[in-house]
Structure 1
Amino acid sequence: MNKLEDLAIVSGLIVVQFLYACNSILMSYLMTLGISPLSVAIFSTFATFLLLSPVAVYFERKKWPQKLSLKLIFQLVLISFAGITLFMTLFLKGVKLTSPAMATAMPNLGPGFIFVIAWTLRMEKVDLKCLYSKVKILGTLLCVIGALTMSLIHSTAPVKEAADRTASVSPAMMFNREKMIGCMYLLAAVFVVSSNVVLQAITLVDFPAPISLCAITSLIGVVITAFVQFIQEHKLDFGWKFKFADIAGYSMLVGFISGAALSFNGWAMKKRGPVLVSVFAPISTIISVVFTAVTLGDTINIGSFAGMILLFCGLYFVLWAKRKETYSNSLMSESKQQRFS
């Protein structure tokens, strides 16, 4: 039974990364139509709420807590604000000041951030004397290094070719104040979303309903994001210049993909913790690299291929260590039961 559950979790997490890659393509397409990024976030998040609410009521109603404590309400609001509004604001400012290539590479630091946060909060068991803990640390580092290597080398290749055709770029153009500030925005965005993943895992202890959690935080996130958009732009942009059917259709599709991915991630975090879920995140970088190679004719160079090898080696190390750790913990619990019986 444990092997089947492990297979389901691993397979599902890989499928989730495919869904995230498709979701990024759809959201990029919506923004190319002229819809503001905050509006895209509002539409897709509200669609997620509409699609997941009936499912949550039907399947998870019995898992809802009898009373909403102030602690739980605060956690729900914080997840909504950090995961949707704050992350989108920081991320979009970072993209504006740097480049899409840098914005694609930065989120691959997420597994490292999540591992450190979970370790600090003692949600992830780490014993530096234990072999399995050392392998988990090594695997996480390999995932981060491999994903960063692959995404940076692949995304900067066209820039290098363009630079070769023109004059050499001066150091002042390569390292300027705006790019440094933009990188800080992107780092802050990755740290926020990494902390949010750990906070979701903590909240699922008191609110063991991942679909309901996603639906509720989506609705709260819509309200907060709309308020932020009104403050920043002094209006609410609902894209009236576009056909409502087109916007609704794309938003529902994006919302369905987001809802399915977030709900499964929540279930997997409840079963295996946030670190295991996070190490699968760089797979979306592989998907995007392969997608651009197939559709745009880009070549996968040696650096990108080496990054893929590092990433998959790191992923295998983490999975092996987690599996062995779970097996050893179950043996210890069985021996304790036999001792006291």
Structure 2
Amino acid sequence: MTGGMEDAAVIGGLMAVQFVYAGNSVLLSYLMSLGLNPLTVVICFASATSLFLSPLALYFERSKWPKKLSFKLLLQLVLLSFGGVTLFQTLLLEGIKLTSPAMATAMPNLAPGLIFIIAWCCRLERVKLSCVYSKVKILGTLLCVVGALTMSIMQSTITIPAKEQIITSPPTIVFFNKEKIVGCLYLMLAVFILSSDVVLKATVLSELPAPMSLSAITSFIGVFTTAAVLLLQNHNLQTDWSILNIKDLLSYSLLGGTVSGISLSFNGWAMKKRGPVLVSIFSPIGTVISVILSVFSLGDTISIGSLAGMFLMFCGLYFVLWAKGKEDYCDGSGYQSDDFDLEKPLLS
């Protein structure tokens, strides 16, 4: 494949992936509106993702598997599965149910800033306050947080015209929708768990440098950790077949799990070819697509204030990504280490 064709394939594919993510969010919102238990949806989708990725991982990455599975690696895989599959996806689905697909696709744009903070605290990320790029990263992270809070507050308000009684009365009365505020908190917590999961994944990839295999394994283990949580919650593995028949649920699960697996695989290929920064730059496109799809398919609305919050978040995201792309040259040195080297900054 020539350079021009490869660039076109990467950019076109990344655009298609964002359409898939947006459509998946709308599909999940529809399933939540039917009254399905989020844990049931997580189990079905994680099973489908594992089934799709396992043969691909076996074919392409078998040579990268460690010869011996240590207890430390096994514990890390369980933690990744519980955090990245059970907790993250359950909180994400609860957030979608209480807010909207647009909010659910916008909140993950907080992740680069949170990953930067968590990795900094864990000493996996370099920060030099004398370097302008480190200052830009900090500014971008603050903008992401401010944008997320603004979007959450504005999307959680309801404006009701006041009764015409006295001239001095305020023209409107503003109420906060408690349900949407709780939903936004679910989404923020989900992104924090996702960011922590990414930092842990960086350490696991140094021992298991096979991202597709790692996703297949964590999805497989995640099925059992989620089932355990469902068992503890309901005292039985009660399903929601009365809400949606098993044929439709399996169809939706295979569709969602397969397209997620394809998107994940393509993102891994694109990262290898062009780096994670380029892949991350396309993330806001998924939010815009999700807004459009949810307005036309679900009848959702989004306020001007929420759009302003999204704009701040996107600006912060690009500040962080731009600074990460330039930071390695601040002191005239660059990283030539392996892709999964722990000494390499997570977002570089």
Give TM class, smaller chain: 0.7 to 0.9
Normalized per residue, the structure richer in helix is 1
- Could you tell me whether the CA contact under 8 Å between 1:147 and 1:282 is conserved in 2? no
Mapping 1:1-341, distance limit 5 Å: 15-90=16-91, 99-100=98-99, 104=104, 107-150=108-151, 152-153=153-154, 155-156=155-156, 159-160=158-159, 163-164=160-161, 174=176, 187-241=188-242, 242-263=244-265, 281-295=283-297, 302-326=304-328
C-alpha change, 1:2 and 1:209, in structure 2 (3 Å) is: farther
Q: Note the C-alpha offset of 1:259.
A: 2.2
Matches of 1:3 and 1:323 in 2, distance apart? 22
1:337 corresponding residue in structure 2: none
Q: Note the C-alpha offset of 1:145.
A: 3.3
Matches of 2:233 and 2:254 in 1, distance apart? 26
Q: Note the C-alpha offset of 1:174.
A: 4.6
Q: Note the C-alpha offset of 1:184.
A: 6.1
- Could you tell me whether the CA contact under 8 Å between 1:198 and 1:274 is conserved in 2? no
Matches of 2:143 and 2:277 in 1, distance apart? 14
Matches of 2:70 and 2:114 in 1, distance apart? 29
Q: Which amino acid aligns with 1:321?
A: A
- Aligned partner of residue 161 in structure 2, secondary structure: helix
- Could you tell me whether the CA contact under 8 Å between 1:114 and 1:278 is conserved in 2? no
Q: CA RMSD in A?
A: 4.3
Q: Note the C-alpha offset of 1:34.
A: 3.8
C-alpha change, 1:295 and 1:89, in structure 2 (3 Å) is: closer
Matches of 2:266 and 2:13 in 1, distance apart? 7
Paired positions, count = 326
Matches of 1:111 and 1:332 in 2, distance apart? 21
- Could you tell me whether the CA contact under 8 Å between 2:38 and 2:90 is conserved in 1? no
Give the structure-2-normalised TM-score.
Answer: 0.74
Long gaps (5+) in structure 1: 335-341
Give the structure-1-normalised TM-score.
Answer: 0.75
Cα distance per residue 1:13-46 (max 9 Å; x no partner): 6654433222111122223334321111100100
Q: Note the C-alpha offset of 1:273.
A: 8.8
Q: Note the C-alpha offset of 1:116.
A: 0.3
- Could you tell me whether the CA contact under 8 Å between 1:108 and 1:148 is conserved in 2? no
Q: Note the C-alpha offset of 1:59.
A: 0.6
Matches of 1:329 and 1:12 in 2, distance apart? 35
